[in-house]
Amino acid sequence: MADEHNEDDVNDEIITEEMLWERIPETHGVDRASTYYELSARIYARGQYDEALALAETARDIYSELGSAAPTEGLAQAYSAIGYNLNQLKRMSEAATAMSKAVELLRENKSPMALELACTLGECRVVGIAGGKDKCDYVVNELGFDACIDYKQHADAGSLSKALRDACPNGIDGHFENVGGKVLDAVMLRTNAFARIAVCGMIAGYDGAPLPMAVPSLILINRMKIEGFIVSEHMEIWPEALQELGQLVGTGKLRPRESVAPNLASAPEAFLGLLKGKNFGKQLVKLI
């Protein structure tokens, strides 16, 4: 048992950048390419974009030499790393070409990563669902969504789904779910094959009543991936996320709204208002 424990400790060993450099002469093929890619990612994080670009290009070249033996996602990751570095170096045209190549490769392989990269390139149509005209106007005019549907104007999932059909003529590939109920049912009716849904909330069921899905067979028919998302389970990337979000807020690219209850005594009323959609943006309670 002691030997097994020690082996686990070795497997959990943190791989340093120095160790990655030492690994290069000892590796070949896919392993060598992935090592160059990992080095590129780490050096990119330090802001050394020229060096990171060269490493990403080396990874791409190795994958390309492998031909059909190369994993598609590995080659696509190399192209995306090239694109991100070129973007930081203000070589926008070259960056767009590299990112487009990454998306093309992933789409051919039906990989869900294609959605993330396509959104980075601005190729996604982004549609919001909110309650009331003021919130929908904010979503479009302040947050920059392509459209926003007022769910309060639709009595059931069928009506809301028809509105989604008009707003998303090419179907839905990705959805961030906070509500459940008729909203989730309406979205599922419009999903494409291999769609992904991140479930962060089910506010329609917070009263304790059962919240059945109308057409659960769509999960199988469309080979969908539905996964719960709890932000506190990802603490390891909070510093990176806060830095990125802070930059977006500072530059005006992200304009969050908040509803602030004045004190702890007002918390119950604020919570009930949240359930009824009275809040505008994140609902907070001021404690001091």
Domain extents in the chain? 2-120, 127-232, 257-285
The whole-number pLDDT of residue 7 equals 43
pLDDT at 194: 86
Determine the number of helices (DSSP H) and then strands (DSSP E) in the chain: 13, 7
Instruction: Read off the tokens for 11.
Output: 């497997």
User: What are φ and ψ of residue 210, in 5° steps?
Assistant: -55, 145
Within the chain, which residues score under 70 in pLDDT?
1-13, 107-123
CATH of 2-120, one of 3.40.50.720, 3.40.605.10, 1.25.40.10, 3.40.50.1220: 1.25.40.10
DSSP string, 66-113: HGGGS-HHHHHHHHHHHHHHHHHTT-HHHHHHHHHHHHHHHHHTT-TH
Fold (topology level) of 127-232: Rossmann fold (3.40.50)
Instruction: Tell me 231's DSSP state.
Output: G
Q: Determine how many CB atoms are found less than 10 A away from the CB of residue 281.
A: 13
Q: How many CB atoms lie within 10 A of CB 101?
A: 19
Tally Cβ neighbours within 10 Å of residue 214.
Answer: 17
pLDDT computed for residue 9 by the predictor? 44
Is 127-232 the same fold as 2-120? no
Residue pair 279/259 in contact (Cβ under 8 Å)? The answer is: yes
Cβ partners under 8 Å of residue 76, min gap 6? 101, 102, 103, 105, 106, 109, 111, 113, 117
